[in-house]
Amino acid sequence: MNIYLIRHGETDWNLIGKVQGREDIPLNDTGRSQARKCAMALQNTGIKAIISSPLTRAVQTANIIANTDDSIELIVDDGLIERDFGEMSGMTYDRRKYFDSFGKEDTMEPLDRLSRRLIECIQKYARRFKGQNIVMVSHGAAINSVIKVLSDGEEGSGKTRLKNACISILKYEDKELKLGSYNLSPGEFIDTILQDS
């Protein structure tokens, strides 16, 4: 089965480079357009369910994708919520770099706990929808933590800047998660699917 792990569309905070964390920021017009393109790219993938983070930007992205097919089940799960950035939430990335130098990262959710939470959530729904393709909508830092684990640290956290509304493909086979292509724009996703068929 394929699990399509999707980062939410753009928000105004993404646009100005603010760390969002658990702040509940909605999609902007660009983000809604990105989500519609993502929905179109996923149309022929046989999705049975969409599981979303509870934050508004993720739920909006999930709803736009779900609107293409009335039979798709939509589930909201706290396990997909973004990393808690603690005192860094709301900062621009330039200020964050300055802030980092004073050791304030202690207020953040630890990376190993983040990746464990995400992977446990993904595996739970992979078992529930065994053999059926599903979509999971989450956030940049959260998805990157999964990519880091599944790529043995070659990609993901600290190395990969995920695009808004990008699609990463996870394979679930023999109770094991494997990383396929990742950080694909909707257009790149369509090209990848065509190459694989």
Please list the active-site residues.
8, 82
The structure tokens 């983070």 sit at: 53
For helices 111-128 and 140-150, give the axis angle rounded to 10 degrees.
Answer: 80
- Find the DSSP H helices in the chain: 12-16, 29-41, 56-66, 93-100, 111-128, 140-150, 186-196
Distance CA 50, CA 67 (A): 11
| Cα separation values, 49 from 7, 70, 73, Å | 16, 11, 5
Radius of gyration of the chain (CA): 16
CB 56 within 8 A of CB 26: yes
Distance CA 95, CA 90 (A): 10
